[in-house]
Amino acid sequence: MMVPVRRQAAERFSQAAALLPWALRQGAERLPETDKARVEELRLRAGRPPTAVLPEGEVPLPGLEGERVTGEDLRLVLEVATQASAHAVLDRVREGFVTVRGGHRVGLCGSAVCENGAIRTLGSLSSLSIRVAREVPGAAAGVRPMLRDAGRTGGTVILSPPGGGKTTILRDLIRRLSDGIEGPPLRVGVADERGELAAMYDGLPMNDLGARTDVLDGCPKAVALKLLLRAMNPQVLAADEVAGPEDAAALEEAAGCGVALLCTAHAAGPEDLLCRPVFRRLVRRGVLSRAVVLTGRGEGRRWTLAELGEGGPC
């Protein structure tokens, strides 16, 4: 069972490495097969050697320890990621990331060009991170029975610091709810703003989100949640990385319609989460009542369930 998962993970890695310019790609392909299956991110910083992020830390790409990433390398990655169509994904570039075929996310960093207090575009790039998207079937095994009414009611938020595996757990949990694993099958509506959950391509999800899942991707979560609620009659609504007040307002509205909610947020734990007014309000209003807290990295990743209480330390 482990071998096909490893092979699939290595294939995903190759797909993400294909975004790199030729010379850097050769370095990535020189990584041992076991490491390829474990790579979480590829990191490029101008003037520094390219690295791969493994659960135990960052390592330079083999054979490129003495090489320096250039500004042209970074521009080429963005060009490949956008298929030479920066203009078509400029709103994503402004948000600081681009999602590519396969659900891999290219995070962008550089000198922002601002206009009227908002980012117009990124003038020059200084670093990039290519996060390798991967499906881990079974990552959320055992979570669903712990949710209220096996996931049919209530609101659950998955918590971890950035890169902690929230999206991977959410993806598997959606599949389990939709396919009726560990409970009855449910219709799930997914607001996939960044395209990482389903990785839609030509109307088909590249990641398995289950047989009863409807995906609305590429539009702001707040709008997508409302549209899904109106158009697709979901029993569960799922969204990745809830952050702003607009997202929270959409979740509140959906909760009032008797739909179960699933989302993720950046936080080390419930205390951390409740330091943010947006989430304190959601907890106080009963929109979110449980948290799945992820700790550890790689194969040492664990989850625990926590009840969300009102207030918090902040």
Partner 1 sequence: MLRLVGALLLTAGAAGLGLCAAGQLGERVRSLRSLVGGLEILKRELSFRRTAMPELMERTARQAGEPARYLFARCRDHLEELGERSFGQIWVRALEAEPELLLTREERAVLAELGQVLGRYDADGQIAALERAEEGLKVCLARAEEDRRRLGRVYTALGVGSGAMLAILLL
Which residue in 14, 84, 245, 286 binds partner 1 (CB under 8 A)?
A: 84
- Give the angle subtended at the CA of 70 by the CAs of 64 and 76, to the nearest 5°: 100
Q: At what angle do helices 245-255 and 277-284 cross, to 10 degrees?
A: 10
- 8: Cα separation from own chain's centroid: 18
As a whole number of angstroms, the distance between CA 159 and CA 262 comes to 11
Nearest residue (CB) to partner 1, 86 versus 109: 86
Of the ranges 19-27, 127-135, 221-229, 293-301, which one interacts with partner 1 (CB under 8 A)?
19-27
Q: State which residue, 85 or 304, has the beta carbon closest to partner 1.
A: 85
Compare residues 25 and 276 and give the one whose CB is closer to partner 1. 25
Q: Using the rule CB under 8 A, is 82 a contact of partner 1?
A: yes
| Whole-number Å distance between alpha carbons of 122 and 94 | 7
CB 179, CB 212: distance < 8 Å: yes
21 belongs to the binding site for partner 1 (CB under 8 A): yes
Pick from 70, 85, 124, 304 the residue near partner 1 by CB under 8 A.
85
8, burial (CB in 10 Å: exposed 0-12, middle 13-18, buried 19+): middle
- Amino acid, single-letter form, for residue 287: V
- By CB under 8 A, residue 112 contacts partner 1: no
* Binding status of residue 66 toward partner 1 by CB under 8 A: no
Of the listed pieces 41-49, 76-84, 212-220, 246-254, which binds partner 1 according to CB under 8 A? Answer: 76-84
Site string for partner 1, 151-170 (x = CB under 8 A): --------------------
3-state secondary structure of 50: coil
CB neighbours of residue 158 within 10 Å:
28
CA dist., res. 266 & res. 32, Å (int): 31
Nearer to partner 1, 18 or 268 (CB): 18
Q: Does 141 bind partner 1 (CB under 8 A)?
A: no
99 binds partner 1 (CB under 8 A): no
Among 5, 54, 59, 76, binds partner 1 (CB under 8 A): 76
Should residue 25 be labelled a site residue for partner 1 when binding is judged by CB under 8 A?
A: yes
Residue of 90, 109, 112, 150 that binds partner 1 (CB under 8 A): 90
- Residue 108 as a binder of partner 1 (CB under 8 A): the answer is no
- Find, among 50, 52, 15, the residue nearest to 31 by Cα: 52
**Both structure tokens of 187:** 């219709």
Q: Which residue has the tokens 């250039």?
A: 70
Q: Are 242 and 221 in contact (CB under 8 A)?
A: yes
Q: At what angle do helices 245-255 and 221-231 cross, to 10 degrees?
A: 20
Question: Minimum distance between the CB of residue 109 and partner 1, rounded to whole angstroms?
Answer: 18
Check binding of 121 to partner 1 (CB under 8 A).
yes
75 binds partner 1 (CB under 8 A): yes
Helix (H) or strand (E) holding 76, with range, is helix 71-81
Candidate list 9, 10, 16, 19; residue touching partner 1; CB under 8 A: 19
Nearer to partner 1, 70 or 233 (CB): 70
Q: Applying CB under 8 A, which part among 83-91, 235-243, 247-255, 281-289 lies near partner 1?
A: 83-91
Under 8 Å between Cβ of 64 and 27:
yes
Q: Which is nearer to partner 1, 3 or 22 (CB)?
A: 22
Q: Is the dihedral of CA 199, 262, 159, 246 positive or negative?
A: positive
Judged by the rule CB under 8 A, the positions of this chain that interact with partner 1 are: 18-22, 25, 72, 75-76, 79-80, 82-88, 90, 120-121
